[in-house]
Amino acid sequence: MNELPLSGVIVVDLSRALAGPHATMMLGDMGARVIKVEAEGTGDDSRGWGPPFVGAPEDKESTYFLSCNRNKESIELNLKDPPDLHLLKALIARADVLVENFRPGVMDRLGLTAAELEAVNPELVILSITGFGTRGPDSGRAGYDQILQGEAGLMSITGPDSEHPQKVGVPIGDLLAGIYGAFGVVAGLTRRARTGRGGVVRTSLLRSLVSSHTFQGTRWTVAGEVPTALGNQHPSISPYGLFRCADGAVQISVGNQSLWTSFATEFGIDPAQKRFADNGARVMHRSELIEAIETVFAKVSRAELLSRLTRIGVPAGQIRSIDEVYEWDQVLAEGLVIETDHSTLGRIKLPGASVVFDGCTSPVSQPPPILGEHNEAIRAWLAVKNEITKI
């Protein structure tokens, strides 16, 4: 039971930037062997995204690239060069999974249509990630995260109000597409175990963001209500959000009537008064409730508030900066700061894996690779397997 669940699975990673690399990193974290195919001489686009860069000038690495490329090998190929394309097909013949996030049509122009890939390897599971999808009038558009956050409505419900749309602080469209894509790969491998056949799994930034609308989506599709941004307050639950106190702010989540009674009683608010009597009333009178709460909180320190909220069982928390997160004992206890030895940078720390399996060894065994780090090793592996001459 100490073997990672995707041990033995070989993934050919043709993706770059974030959505595809995040998906393949997740697969690598679960034990898959991920072979990252990078453009000769330049590599993944994200190798140039910075500052910050770290390391010596001649060996500088982008911290952006480091964030999403652990547990991978790197080989440089020029896919417009016939010998290199031939070598790629040899890799594909050995692989279980192929991941790509080119614009629609690019794989076809390279001579890597779904039919041609199936001919090379009928058991291959192919993950294709696009920006806007593969059908419809916008399918050919380039899909960058912030553009999709706007187009898919996320920015309209993020920020202080409807006049100031705001992107999420991380590339959430890319990340969700990567997560859903990795899920699709695992589902494809499960189907292959039953049928013996691979197939194409598709997702997109648009699909991932729209499917993540959850209750904000059904507010419109079912109730006919257009959601708008409410800053740090919840549109359907109150009180739920960020509240100012004597020396900063706390966040609280009063998710049911029992918690409301405990909370209101603790802080001297009549829980039964009509305008605050149930959640619907509290949502309708949110501004008045926020004012009442912050009037009480203004006299209380954050530490005392968190202590009192914990004592009465009301979920609460503080706002941590990124550096504070990585020093937090809870994060450290969960193994969410990992260390690995990079080829040029030495010992580095990275954010930890999103999923772990009981009884398995650490899902991080390989640092993010330098460009072309495994050129010779991968070519030698294919030569030993006699795969290059078979294609």
pLDDT tens digits in sequence order for the chain, 391 residues long:
678 999 999 999 999 999 999 999 999 999 999 999 999 999 999 999 999 999 999 889 999 999 999 999 999 999 999 999 999 999 999 999 999 999 888 999 999 999 999 999 999 999 999 999 999 999 999 999 999 999 999 999 999 999 999 999 999 999 999 999 999 999 999 999 999 999 999 999 999 999 999 999 999 999 999 999 999 999 999 999 999 999 999 999 999 999 999 999 999 999 999 999 999 999 999 999 999 999 999 999 999 999 999 999 999 999 999 999 999 999 999 999 999 999 999 999 999 999 988 887 666 679 999 999 999 999 999 987 665 555 5
pTM for this prediction: 0.93
d(CA 184, CA 190): 10
pLDDT at residue number 360: 79
- Structural element, H or E, at residue 372: none
Complete domains list, the chain, with CATH: 10-212+329-390 (3.40.50.10540), 240-320 (3.30.1540.10)
The per-residue pLDDT for range 265-305, each reduced to its tens digit, is: 999 999 999 999 999 999 999 999 999 999 999 999 999 99
pLDDT at residue number 390: 59
- Of 19, 71, 32, 70, whose CA–CA distance to 188 is shortest? 32
DSSP codes joined into one string, 143-211:
--HHHHHHHTTGGGGSSSSTTS----SS-HHHHHHHHHHHHHHHHHHHHHHHHS--EEEEEEHHHHHHH
pLDDT at residue number 385: 65
Identified catalytic residue from 174, 323, 329, 358: 174
pLDDT at residue number 292: 97
d(CA 388, CA 391): 6
369: preceding bond cis by omega (within 30 degrees): no
Task: Report the SS3 class of residue 33.
Answer: strand
Catalytic, 96? Answer: no
DSSP 233: B
pLDDT at residue number 363: 66
